[in-house]
């Protein structure tokens, strides 16, 4: 078994848990389920249930992100600054072109005719 047999929702209902359950808007079930899930979490039973009773736990937990951005912090890489470098390089190029145009215009306007 190399795949997760469960459907995992994309967004959590409340951010205290990494796993979530989805309800329709205005559903009264959320108010009934939240206290149960909180008590399971606080007692440690939720972790026990997840780790001991879930088939292919590592495969299911690795597929949770679905390519969506996470809220976890990570070290910045050089690729994260490519946009900033492009804007900086474009500004330098524009400044250089303005400088060259000023030199050419100054030489043209001040030359004896």
- Where residue 3 falls among pLDDT bands split at 50, 70, 90? low
What would the mean pLDDT of 29-50 be, rounded to a whole number? 81
Give the span between the Cα atoms of 38 and 44, in whole angstroms: 10
Cβ atoms of 43 and 68 closer than 8 Å? no
pTM comes to 0.36
Provide the pLDDT for residue 40. Answer: 81
Greater confidence, 84 or 46? Answer: 84
pLDDT, tens only, 52-103: 766 666 666 665 554 455 556 778 888 889 999 999 999 999 999 999 999 9
Task: State the CB neighbour count (10 A cutoff) for residue 67.
Answer: 4
Greater confidence, 81 or 18? Answer: 81
User: Has residue 1 got a pLDDT over 90?
Assistant: no
Tell me the residue ranges of DSSP E strands in the chain.
Answer: none
Greater confidence, 110 or 113? Answer: 110
User: Has residue 17 got a pLDDT over 80?
Assistant: no
Q: Of 22, 23, 18, 21, whose CA–CA distance to 61 is shortest?
A: 18
């Amino acid at each position: 078994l190399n795949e997760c047999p469960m459907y995992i929702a994309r967004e959590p209902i409340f951010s205290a848990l990494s796993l979530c359950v989805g309800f329709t808007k205005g559903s009264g079930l959320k108010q009934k389920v939240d206290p149960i899930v909180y008590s399971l979490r606080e007692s440690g039973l939720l972790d026990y249930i997840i780790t001991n009773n879930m088939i292919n736990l590592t495969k299911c937990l690795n597929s949770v992100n679905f390519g969506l951005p996470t809220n976890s912090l990570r070290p910045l890489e050089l690729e994260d600054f490519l946009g900033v470098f492009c804007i900086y390089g474009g500004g330098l190029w524009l400044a250089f072109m303005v400088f060259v145009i000023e030199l050419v215009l100054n030489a043209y306007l001040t030359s004896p005719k």
